[in-house]
């Protein structure tokens, strides 16, 4: 079985899900809740580009990201994770935003 989720949801550890998370933000991501099922927890890492995200109830759109500084020489690449919340990371190069298929 493959479960596709964002990097925050794939975390296998309990705790703050991202730096500066507001008070009341859940601390048990999906990856933590299903950790005993034997999944690999992978973090997809890119080197800048754009993403489509929602930052509020009616605030969705393309957001530009700067270079991550984590890039290996070529993409794609799989390597051990530098973050204990994941088993490995997959470097995919530069991200390209993809809006939702339906509004």
Distance CA 48, CA 85 (A): 21
pLDDT, tens digit, 9 for 90 and up, residues 6-58: 888 899 999 887 777 788 888 899 999 999 999 999 998 888 899 888 877 78
φ, ψ at 46 (rounded to 5°): -125, 180
Say if CB 17 and CB 7 are below 8 A apart.
Answer: no
Q: DSSP assignment of 4-51, as one string?
A: ---HHHH--S-S-SSTTPPTT--S--HHHHTGGG----EEEE-SSEEE
pLDDT at 72 over 80: no
Which residue ranges make up each domain of the chain?
Answer: 7-91
Mean pLDDT to the nearest integer, 54-78: 78
pLDDT at 87: 94
pLDDT at 25: 81
pLDDT at 103: 67
């Amino acid at each position: 079985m493959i479960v596709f989720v964002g990097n925050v949801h794939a975390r296998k550890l309990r705790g703050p899900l991202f730096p500066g998370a507001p008070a009341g933000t859940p601390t048990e991501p999906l990856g933590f809740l299903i950790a005993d099922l034997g999944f690999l927890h992978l973090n997809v890492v890119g080197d800048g580009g754009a993403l489509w995200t929602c930052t509020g109830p009616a605030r969705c759109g393309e957001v530009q990201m700067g270079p991550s500084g984590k890039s290996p020489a070529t993409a794609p690449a799989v390597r051990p994770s530098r973050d204990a919340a994941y088993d490995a990371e997959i470097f995919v190069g530069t991200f390209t935003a993809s809006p939702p298929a339906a509004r």
